[in-house]
Amino acid sequence: MYYSRFYQCVFRPECLQTSSEIVRPVQQITTSTSMHIVRPGETLSSHGHESRVGGKGANQAVAIARAGGHSRFFGSIGRDGLWIKDRMEGYGIDISGLIVADEPTGRAIIQVDAKGENSISANFSKLHEERFKKQGEGWFPETTHLLLQNEIPLASTLYALHNVKDATVIMNPSPLPSPAQTRDFPWKKLDWLIVNESEAQELYQAAAGSGAKSTDSMTTKELLFRLSSESAFGDTNIVCTLGADGVLAFVPTFHRRQNAEAPSALYQPAAKLLHGVQDTTGAGDCFTGYFVAGLMEFGPHAKLGKDITEEDLAKVLKKCVVAAGMCVEKKGTIDSIPTRAEVEERMTLLR
């Protein structure tokens, strides 16, 4: 989760990245590279192995910082992960809120194939939720931007969501909540929802229930139109990442619903790559971090249609896809996230 704090006399939001102390979105990532993703019952030799900092919270915090935002990390690691503190600080993140607990640091095992595609298995350690709530007191009233993932327990996510006031709320629910949690989740509290196409399909089917239409032959535009037509998502701006095909955004302020066959939307194609795909693992988190940093640049409480035009949004999305494209050209997750200067230089080359 991220909390962006706005200080008097300094017109620069500070992004505070915090995690529940039940499950922390900062992890030790172990990556192995092989010709293909291992299949059930198969034993496969890998060509390489490394351990590094990761988890959606950590990845997105670094992406925000590298995009020019001021990111503060507030989370938990085990004593086996003390090296993570030094790495996070080295990424330019304020880690004064990082707690060292007695339980082991969460871990994720990533397999990367010869084409750069990945498969991830994650295990999140548990700490005391009450400590998170106590430490979260005082931050929520001043929050301007809140970014939620779904790598922490639902109770902690809801606590943050219900205690934040007058903030721009963004959620990148990956993995998705369970079907039961999806039906009961207060989606109306979100300003922005960032999902990929399969996640959008699952959310639509859960929201529409027995009335859901088959998504097999739906275009992405129609899918977002129908998802936005569900009451739970009626006022939510939806950004759907399409991998190598770019990104599609349905923003009710700009894209009023006409009909399912020809809905309007904002499309941004993927950026041209100057190098081959090495690893797609961190691309989504890179995109999300750059997107949140882009929103933060308009200041707290910026309104679509008033402070942020459709053209402004298109520029933000363009920078995001360029950053994500550069990310897949390198191996790793956090280390592959480009800086703002690097992204702007690439954008100049691509003109």
Residue 214 to residues 123, 206, 209, 225, 318, Cα–Cα distance (Å): 33, 12, 11, 14, 31
Three-class SS state of 180: helix
Q: Is 18:55 a contact under the CB 8 Å cutoff?
A: no
Residue with more model confidence, 52 or 18: 52
Q: What single DSSP character describes residue 22? A: S
Q: Which residues contact 345 (CB under 8 A, 6 or more apart)?
A: none
Cα separation, 26 vs 16, whole angstroms:
14
The one-letter amino acid at 44: L
The whole-number pLDDT of residue 24 equals 37
Cα separation, 108 vs 91, whole angstroms:
20
Cα separation, 351 vs 348, whole angstroms:
5
Q: At what angle do helices 197-208 and 220-229 cross, to 10 degrees?
A: 40
Q: Which residues contact 135 (CB under 8 A, 6 or more apart)?
A: 18, 21, 74, 97, 99
Cα separation, 191 vs 157, whole angstroms:
15
Q: How many residues does the chain have?
A: 351
76-109 pLDDT tens trace = 777 877 888 888 888 888 777 677 777 777 676 7
155-176 pLDDT tens trace = 878 888 888 888 899 999 988 9
The whole-number pLDDT of residue 137 equals 59
Dihedral sign for Cα 66, 252, 185, 181, please. Answer: negative
Three-class SS state of 327: helix
Q: CA end-to-end span of the chain, whole Å?
A: 34
The CATH T-level fold of domain 56-105+126-350 is UDP-N-acetylmuramoyl-L-alanine:D-glutamate ligase (3.40.1190)
CA 215 to chain centroid, in Å, comes to 24
Average pLDDT score over the chain: 81
The whole-number pLDDT of residue 295 equals 94
Q: Is 96:112 a contact under the CB 8 Å cutoff?
A: no
The whole-number pLDDT of residue 124 equals 56
Cα separation, 219 vs 200, whole angstroms:
12
Residue 176 to residues 41, 119, 150, 247, Cα–Cα distance (Å): 27, 16, 7, 19
The whole-number pLDDT of residue 350 equals 94
Residue with more model confidence, 153 or 12: 153
Cα separation, 94 vs 127, whole angstroms:
22
Residue 132 has pLDDT above 50, yes or no: yes
249-281 pLDDT tens trace = 999 999 866 665 556 899 999 999 999 999 888
The whole-number pLDDT of residue 19 equals 31
Dihedral sign for Cα 320, 90, 27, 77, please. Answer: negative
Strands of 19-69, DSSP E: 27-33, 48-54
The encoded tokens of residue 60 equal 């997105």
The whole-number pLDDT of residue 226 equals 93
pLDDT band at residue 314 using 50, 70 and 90 as cut-offs: very high
In the chain, % of residues over pLDDT 70:
78
Residue 287 has pLDDT above 80, yes or no: yes
